[in-house]
Amino acid sequence: MTRFALTLEFDGTPFSGLQRQSNGPSVQQSIENALHRITGEQAALHSAGRTDAGVHALGMRSHVDLEKDIAPFRLMGALNAHLRPDPIAVTACEVVPDDWHARFSCTGRRYLYRIVNRRAPLALLRNRAWQVATPLDAKAMHRAAQVLVGRHDFTTFRSVNCQAADPVKTLDLLSVERVDEEVHIHAAARSFLHHQVRSMVGCLKLVGTGTWDELRLAAALAARDRSALGLNAPSQGLYFVEASYPDDLP
């Protein structure tokens, strides 16, 4: 049995999420089906994180255990061939130790949220960014975002369906920058609650429009109550950027 680590890029638009779902197609299902066609094995895909319907990935890390003797570059090529026409690409494949786990060995996760701040409709970025027509003050958003950095109880910013045992998380980074007509929000932590990034982005959007201020955001955090949330940003602007691992692991 060989453990292969995969790096995945995908457009989440046609999927109900990364993890296999009973109510629609998933990235996991597409990859496991492709693996079965290649190897004849019922292999299970394990990933560094879960993504909701419509969320994208630039560098999701996953692993799979296979009995078939196959070189990593051949497995990568075969997967990419069998995944067509699904918008999924395996951008890297390597053999890793048996105790390496895409989820449990992961020490950090990074996300990007893209807002297109203009009135004209989206053509190229449709389903790949959140369009906000009202002008946004990215500098005010960044200042307010620092309220959320650090170790906090993020109950206000978690989905009611979140299965995490503890709402306390340490947010290592939450930054906001304007890139021409886009506003980019970067978030990094060891792990996140369900909907945490989207909920934080939704409230920062309210700060950007002047509806909320820094004090209102701090009050929402302190409330530790989902009803204090101002807005949950839509899924299409969210990207899983990368997962990080200890230096001695790939």
Tell me, what CATH number does 222's domain have? 3.30.70.660
Q: Is 52 a catalytic residue?
A: yes
* 123 and 76 in a common domain: no
* 77 and 44 in a common domain: yes
- The parent domain of residue 25 ranges over 2-96
Tell me the per-residue pLDDT of 180-196, one tens digit each, with 9 for 90 and over: 999 999 999 999 999 99
Global pTM? 0.95
Tell me the per-residue pLDDT of 135-161, one tens digit each, with 9 for 90 and over: 999 999 999 999 999 999 999 999 988
Per-residue CA distances from 80 to 6, 10, 70, 88, 170 (Å): 12, 12, 15, 8, 36
Which is catalytic among the residues 52, 69, 98, 225? 52
The verdict on residue 39 lying in a domain is yes
pLDDT, average across residues 201-214: 98
Last residue of a domain, one of 39, 65, 96: 96
Tell me the per-residue pLDDT of 110-123, one tens digit each, with 9 for 90 and over: 999 999 999 999 99
73 — pLDDT class (breaks 50, 70, 90): very high
Q: Which two tokens stand for residue 117?
A: 């701040």
The total of structural domains in the chain comes to: 2
